[in-house]
């Protein structure tokens, strides 16, 4: 059973409120809303996780801390197309953006499992601009 609790105390960095911790089955994870992420000035990296052919979530690194992106209700951010993720991140000031997609292709053709989940990371252009 998934047990989820939000902390009452916000996480701060340089005297700024960033997000809250969420306790999921005893493990703490920093969270931040998408709206807060878009105005964050010390955003180092965004990783778009491709979990399924049409399911994407986002994590971010802010001031050296990893954050899971959540919606206004505190639920994990998820989109069903990379285009929707791109539109959500337009204007984001991330220094680096990466699409992380893991596949079982090597195992499917009889090869050894990959030693690292980052072995097939695809780096994206971070200058996602609105379409004309």
pLDDT tens digits, 87-124: 999 888 888 888 887 766 767 777 766 666 556 666 66
Domain boundaries, the chain: 4-124
Q: Would you state the pLDDT for residue 32?
A: 94
0.75 cut: is pTM over it?
no
Report pLDDT digits (tens) over 22-64.
554 455 679 999 999 999 888 999 999 888 788 999 999 998 8
Output the CA angle 70-83-80, nearest 5 degrees: 55
Q: Which two tokens stand for residue 105?
A: 């292709």
Identify the helix (H) or strand (E) that includes residue 68. Answer: strand 65-70
- N- to C-terminal Cα distance for the chain? 46
Mean pLDDT on 55-74: 91
* pLDDT band per the 50, 70, 90 thresholds, residue 72: confident
Q: Would you state the pLDDT for residue 101?
A: 78
How is residue 104 annotated by DSSP? -
Q: Identify whether the C-beta of residue 80 lies closer than 8 Å to the C-beta of residue 52.
A: no
Pairing of strands 4-6, 16-24: antiparallel
Pairing of strands 27-33, 16-24: antiparallel
């Amino acid at each position: 059973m998934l047990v989820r609790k939000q902390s009452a105390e916000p996480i701060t960095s340089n005297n700024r409120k960033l997000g809250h911790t969420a306790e999921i089955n005893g493990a703490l994870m920093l969270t931040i809303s998408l709206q807060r992420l878009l105005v964050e000035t010390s955003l180092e990296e965004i990783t778009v996780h491709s979990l399924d052919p049409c399911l994407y979530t986002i994590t971010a690194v802010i001031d050296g801390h990893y954050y899971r992106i959540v919606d206004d209700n505190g639920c994990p951010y998820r989109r069903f197309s990379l285009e929707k993720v791109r539109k959500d991140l337009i204007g984001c000031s991330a220094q680096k953006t990466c699409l992380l997609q893991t596949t079982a292709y090597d195992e499917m053709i009889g090869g050894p499992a990959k030693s690292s989940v980052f072995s097939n990371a695809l780096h994206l252009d971070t200058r996602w601009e609105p379409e004309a």
